[in-house]
């Protein structure tokens, strides 16, 4: 290892996230996702972090499934996340939901309130287009959401012994 390589290696610390100190994953576009058991690099001089996230597509799928099953109304970021996971342009998705592109844009930009009906349609669209099991769609059809948004809700993801992502939501 050259002197330059040693210098670069010494500039960061390698850490593994724990339940007490999870890794705050913002790459999904969701501000409340925390990962447990991932290796990440931390640069103390500028407080930067970078993680090695295994099976990223599986994590994103698990996050989508968790959002569809959560008990509070979807947030603007969560609407955007689900739409982007489906790879559907905003203009087209607006039509699927029964809104104009402008109306839907206001929802994703948090300039308008998500109604329970729009929320339910988005969840059911995600279930159908992501080809999730029918029982998940049936649960969405029966769900009653809490009246208030819980912006302090955290999404915690970890891998089980088979390296499958397990996603849970909890109050912060």
Q: Per-residue pLDDT tens for 50-82? A: 998 999 999 999 999 999 988 889 999 999 999
pLDDT confidence of 9, banded at 50, 70, 90?
Answer: low
Q: Which two tokens stand for residue 67?
A: 């959002």
Determine the average pLDDT of the residues in 9-18: 85
Determine the average pLDDT of the residues in 127-145: 81
pLDDT of residue 115 exceeding 60, the answer is yes
Helix, strand, coil percentages in the chain from 3-state DSSP, rounded to 5: 40, 20, 40
Number of C-beta neighbours around residue 41 at 10 A: 14
Residue 136 has what pLDDT?
82
Determine the average pLDDT of the residues in 14-41: 93
Determine the average pLDDT of the residues in 108-133: 92
Closest CA to 30 of 62, 71, 3: 62
Predicted TM-score (pTM) of this structure: 0.81
- CATH, domain range 73-147: 1.10.3100.10
Q: Where in the chain is the domain with CATH 1.10.3100.10?
A: 73-147
């Amino acid at each position: 290892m050259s002197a330059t390589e040693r210098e670069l290696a010494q500039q960061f610390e390698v850490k593994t996230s724990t339940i007490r100190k999870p890794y705050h994953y913002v790459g999904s576009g969701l501000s409340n996702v925390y990962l447990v058991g991932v290796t990440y690099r931390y640069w103390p001089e500028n407080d930067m972090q970078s993680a090695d996230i295994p099976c990223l597509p599986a994590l994103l799928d698990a996050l989508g499934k968790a959002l569809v099953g959560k008990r509070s109304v979807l947030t603007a970021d969560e609407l955007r996340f689900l739409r982007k996971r489906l790879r559907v342009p905003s203009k087209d998705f607006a039509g699927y939901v029964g809104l104009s592109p402008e109306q839907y844009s206001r929802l994703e930009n948090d300039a308008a309130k998500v109604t329970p009906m729009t929320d339910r349609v988005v969840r059911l669209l995600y279930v159908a287009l992501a080809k999730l099991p029918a029982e998940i769609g049936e649960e969405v059809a029966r769900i009653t959401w809490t009246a208030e948004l819980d912006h302090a809700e955290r999404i915690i993801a970890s891998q089980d012994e088979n390296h499958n992502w397990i996603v849970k939501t909890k109050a912060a």
